[in-house]
Structure 1
Amino acid sequence: GYIKIKILPYDFLFPPLPKILLWPMQNLSLILENFPYVRNFAGSLFIWAQKPAEENWKRPMSSLVEHDCFKGQLSVVVPSRNEELNIPPLIENLQACYGEYIKEIIIVDDNSRDETAKVTENLALKDPRIKLIRRSMPHGVGRALRDGFAATKGDFVLTMDCDFQHILPELTGLFDAVADGADMAIGSRFSRESVLLNYAFTKILANRGFHILANLLLGKHFRDATNNLKLMRKEVLKSLVLESDDFAANAETGLQPILLGYKVEEIPISWINRSVDMGFSNFNLLNTGPNYIVVLFRLVFRKWMGRDIVRCPPVKQSIKT
């Protein structure tokens, strides 16, 4: 019944190293493990078998609610573009795992060409907590996040993509961290306990390069501030000002709280690349990558010059009426 079986060498082994070299070597191992030929020298094997997605999401999930502080206070923001296939399983599994937490699920339809809006509207008829925001052109993840954030009413905000529908049980780590006092918890794809499946080598290289540079320039230590799987308190959200219109806004939602002094924790999560039945990602490294660098150097300049990290007024919303 499997549609794909893959065996990958995993976990390069290095000799004992000074602490200062350990972190660069860990990043190097993540890159080498996904390099087509070099990874043959890895230390062990990782076996992955994938069942058809339709059967996966229909398998019922159990409630994972543990913390009273989140009950009825969680706003979930999902920027979506051409996600008609993924919205139903994502919402169904969110309701199953964290239904008692959820105050609202805000689907931001970023000018989709498919039936994303219609599918969401049909689901909203069954559950009034599901809300649809329909955006006009121009589209962009940053624009969608701004509009979605502006509509939130809960004391806690979870932002995520449809890609994360298969790992919802792992979100318990984010809730645990915030319940224990963190202001924000980020799902980290690049912790040593994380698992990446079918993640493009070019994206790994770009991500690791960006974070190594960001850590050096900002004098901080974080592994995956750019992932759009974040749980934050409402006061953190209110302090954010997203200036980027595209995927680079994910860097702003991660770096701004760190530089503003909030307590940010990174929680290891898995990441599974989209299968054919899930549609295609809208992320384009060549088009978007330079904008991440712009975000980084803008924040570096403000930090080094002693200026406010967040200083620009919010951008006007672009919601269809």
Structure 2
Amino acid sequence: MHHALPAHLAVVIPCYNEAANVAPLAARLDVALAGIAWEAIFVDDDSPDGTAHEARRLAETDPRIRVIRRVGRRGLSSACVEGMLATSAPYVAVMDGDLQHDEAALPAMLAAAEDGADIAIGSRHVEGGTVGQGLSAARRKVSDLGGWAARLLLPAPVSDPMSGFFLLRRAVIETAAPRLTARGFKILLDILLSLPSPPRIAEIPYVFRARQAGESKLDALVLLDFAGLLLDKRFGGAVPLRFLGFALVGVVGVLVHLLALNLAVRGIGLSFTAAQWSATLVAMTANFWLNNTLTYRDVRLRGAGLWRGLLLFYVVCGLGAFANVGISSLLVSDQVAGWRLAGAAGAALTVVWNYAVSSTLVWRAR
């Protein structure tokens, strides 16, 4: 039987479809953390492959293994935050469940934190650390670009701000938690931007390994997440991050509408009214696809739900369009405003209406 808790170090492992990695990772932690009282918290976003079940199987014989199975909630950052706030250990680490992070670096990271560092970051970019075979050339470019942008804005210099492998004193996450955005992928960045004063940082080199199983959590969408995170911090959280994303998609929708209108009138020769309705339908469809892929990807619609959602989105946006025309026409006819101001007021009302109804009806959290 393994020694009982309390743990000195909690290792939080956000996972999705990583059942095959659970036992190997637990075995590696057992070796790397010999002599340290530790616990591992697997935070699983209800993986269909039975990741949570596999972790519970280990937990039946090893009290150091804990499981949080999240149903109806998705997202890497929020999974990390829930795991970190679910422990009483004085030190907390975060690492991926795909075996790419080198658990052998954890004792050095813990020693740095015990020595006074607020956050010890596993870095691929300091002396002794490498990216190894872990990233493709395209993903390396995404990571480098994000890292460069982050370094411009961070309160303290960090060589690898996009790292998903770090260790901190629990007091640090307790301080940052109320200010966190907790959306998207880059939880370390979120923490660094949420602390009231610049933290003391130690960077520990490690070699980033090739992934074993599971699903990659990094793609081009990470850069959009990243931009959203920075906007959120800039506005001090006053404007919901999702609303910013929704409005941004709306701007893209206007461009799609104008392109489709041009094609329908000049290319196909439709009458203006027919072309306008066609362009509206094309723009709505593009907006729905972008919102489903980006803005609401933690509650993304799939299968039959996707088609139901699309029809509902048409209805929502159709009502929004009628409201837009009605309000703006009223403002002009009552001479309350000129046509430019009236048009802007109608458009603003439509965005708020579409966002409010889409969030509550189309992409409601299940």
What is the TM-score when the length of structure 2 is the normalising length?
0.58
Measure the CA separation in 1 of the matches of 2:136 and 2:91. 32
Larger % of strand: which? 1
Equivalent residue letter for 2:187? A
Per the alignment, residue 213 of structure 1 pairs with 149
CA contact (8 A) 1:89 1:165 kept: no
Equivalent in the alignment of 2:190: 252
What is the CA distance between 1:136 and its match in structure 2?
Answer: 0.7
1:266 maps to what in 2?
203
Question: Aligned to 1:240, which of 153, 158, 176?
Answer: 176
Match in the other structure for 2:216: 282
Q: Distance in 1 between matches of 2:156 and 2:168?
A: 19
Question: Which residue does 1:299 correspond to in 2?
Answer: 233
Deviation at 1:219, TM superposition (A): 6.0
Tell me if structure 1 keeps the 8 A contact 2:32–2:103: yes
Distance of aligned partners of 1:224 and 1:83 in 2 relative to their CA distance in 1, 3 Å threshold: same
Residue deviations 1:195-247 (CA, integer Å, cap 9, x gap): 22221222222222222222223464211122121111111010123313221
Residue 216 to residue 273, structure 1, CA distance change in 2 (3 Å): same
Structure 2: 5+ residue stretches without partners: 237-366
Q: 1:96 to 1:201 in 2, by over 3 A?
A: same
| One of 93, 101, 117 as aligned partner of 1:158 | 93
Deviation at 1:102, TM superposition (A): 3.2
* Farther-moved stretch of structure 1 (214-223 vs 204-213): 214-223
Check the 8 A contact 2:95/2:101 in 1, yes or no: no
CA contact (8 A) 1:210 1:293 kept: no
SS at match of 2:60: helix
Change (3 A) 1:250 1:178: closer
Larger-Rg structure: 2
* Inter-partner Cα distance in structure 2 for 1:272 and 1:103: 23
Aligned residue number for residue 105 of structure 2: 170
Does residue 1:229 correspond to 2:168, yes or no?
no
Pairwise CA RMSD: 2.4
Structure 1 portions without partners, runs of 5+: 1-69, 303-321
Secondary structure of residue in 1 paired with 2:42: strand
Question: 2:14 pairs with 76, 79, 93, which one?
Answer: 79
Q: 1:124 to 1:287 in 2, by over 3 A?
A: same
Whichever residue aligns with residue 87 of structure 2, its letter is T
Aligned with 1:118 (options 31, 53, 62): 53
Which of 99, 107, 114 is equivalent to 2:42? 107
Amino acid at match of 1:174: M
CA–CA distance in structure 2, aligned partners of residues 218 and 237 of structure 1: 17
- Greater helix share, 1 or 2? 2
Moved over 4 A (4+): none
Counterpart Cα distance in 1 of 2:100 and 2:216? 17
The correspondence for 1:196, drawn from 118, 131, 146, is 131
- 1:28-73 per-residue CA deviation (whole Å, 9 max, x = no partner) reads xxxxxxxxxxxxxxxxxxxxxxxxxxxxxxxxxxxxxxxxxx9941
Return closer, same or farther for 1:296/1:123 CA change in 2, 3 Å cut-off: same
Q: TM-score with structure 1 length normalisation?
A: 0.65
| Alpha-carbon spacing, 1:201–1:103, altered in 2? closer, same or farther (3 Å) | same
Give the number of aligned pairs: 230
2:23 matched residue in structure 1: 88
Aligned equivalent of 2:270: none
2:226 and 2:53 map into 1 onto residues whose CA distance is 33
Conservation of the 8 A alpha-carbon contact between 1:218 and 1:300: no
Identity %: 29
Determine if contact 2:155/2:193 at 8 Å carries over to the other structure. Answer: no
| Alignment-mate amino acid for residue 148 of structure 2 | I
Work out the CA distance in 1 between the residues paired with 2:38 and 2:58: 15
2:75–2:183 Cα contact (<8 Å) kept: yes
Matches of 2:13 and 2:145 in 1, distance apart?
Answer: 27
**Cα deviation per residue 1:107-128 (whole Å; 9 max; x = unaligned)?**
1111101021111111001111
Instruction: Determine which of 50, 61, 70 is the counterpart of 1:135.
Output: 70
